Structure 1
Amino acid sequence: MFDCVIIGGGPSGLNAALILARGRKNIMLFDDDNPRNAVTHESHGFITRDGVKPSEFKRQAKADLMKYPNLTMYNERVVDLKKETQCFVIYTESNKIYESRKVILATGLKDVLPPIDGIHNFYGTSLFSCPFCDGWELKDQPLVLITENPSAFHKAKLIFNWSRDLVVCTNGKEIFSKEQQELLLKNKIEVIEETISCLEGLAGNLSAIRFKNQRQLKRKAGFVTTNLVQASPLAESLGCVLTKNGGIETDNFGRTNIEGVYGCGDISKSAPMQVIVAAGEGTKAAMGVINDLVNEEF
């Protein structure tokens, strides 16, 4: 039986594995290698790793983890997870079964893009979701914010920090209040509420947005508001309490409402979704596991 099984090999799961391995716990990490940032060419905002390719970040992280003999890593998907009286039972896609005293869920989220023709061709290359991650590379360019989300007013203000040449397209939705519209107009941010027909460009580089009324808006790049959903049903199937925005509720050390189950990284949606934040949350969840195991054993 393992002390802890970590499900998810993103920055949060990898860093949780590092702390648990150094905490002398017998652990296993499952990674199905289907990351949310698969479309991302570079990751930013992590000191000493600014601009690193996500695949290279993971390669270096796993090289660090291989130094610890008390850690096992499997490139496999966990398909089910059950809580028994004394342990958790983990079922994998290849019909293998494992037991563990604790479980860390680091399964992350999935981005659901607005249903706009051509949008997938540009996401991760010239359309992004996080201005803190990619705003520097797009500074001072003619940008677009494509959004159907009523909370987009704040995102428009953020993007304005990197470029004053900004147009907001709501794809046929009326999402701004009169006061918000006036503030955007005051800052020379145009709001286009016409339905988008398609996005145009070549090789992932956005050039224009075409609307149903045949209007064409020239833009070089921009941001899009995505809907976020759990990448795995494991947390919900265990009975973890979900937040109103689709994450799972955790305390400061990743503990969920299910004893022995911890969550970290994007899955909890409790902090800005950046690599460095996710890694930090993995550290906190691992510390929570070690503290709880020590208290149980002492």
Structure 2
Amino acid sequence: LERRTQMKNETTVQEFILEGFPAVQHLGNVLFLVHLLAYLASVMGNTLIITITWADHRLQTPMYILLSSFSFCECVFISTVIPKLLVIFLLGRQTIPFTDCLTQAFFTLFLGATIFFLMAAMSFDRYLAICKPLHYPSIMNLRVCFLLLYFVLYPLYWSVLKGFPAVSQLSFCGPNVIPHFFCDLGSLIHLSCSDTISTEMLAFGLTSFILFASLMITIIAYSNIIITIMGLPSAKERQKAFSTCSSHLIVLSLMYGSCVFIYVKPNQRDRLDSNREAALVNTVVTPLLNPVIYTLRNKQVHQALRDALSRVKLQ
């Protein structure tokens, strides 16, 4: 029994190796610089949205509170993934301890799920603003907005908290190379030497619920929005109404397109070699574009920025 325990301890995986992008690892210095600039620009852009929202009382409305919450989650999400990728590119250090890998997988799942349901909440806000404009101020006040944030986070917390132990209790005693640039549930399940059929189905069910539940809310909201916009009497009114949600639609297309490609496959082994490039869309491209997309055509944000710059100059 003692020898059996010793053998088990010798074969237990203590760390994983993140494969990263081996085909372009020889361009490590260039890729490090590109991804570092993208990371810094993403953090600065999203931080700017958060700062302006809470500094300017005119932007302390449900729409911008949801947007600033979204930006905060984006900042934390990319900060759990990109720094390790930068280390891989610059120093070639691909190892990650078991507990760090598990923690990273937990936060990427929880924050990713939160981002999707925040997008659904933002869709609901746009639905009320366009389809119920007279009732919008009374329905979507700050109290309702914070309750909406609570109902986004609470079920996600419990669903991830209940689903995650299923992965943490798996045995890892064989290969430890993860064909990805960060730890995710699918990769960990694939490397386990336990019977993973039930865990795979649980992970598939959880990710499918997150994607499709938030997507259904968004589809219902935007179906009503489109019907309302098409019923407006003038082309100018239709264009103005559509401009208020066009930025949101662009971000939705990027996020859902890449995530459906990555996650919604029952067999995790089918996707391990094909999801790295698609995952870059959500971890690098989308967080970089979000601040630009949301602020480029937003006159209220432009005015808040101008006022903030004016106050800085006066000081």
RCO (CA 8 Å, sep 6+): is it higher in 1 or 2?
A: 2
Give me the TM-score of the superposition, normalised by structure 1: 0.31
Give me the TM-score of the superposition, normalised by structure 2: 0.30
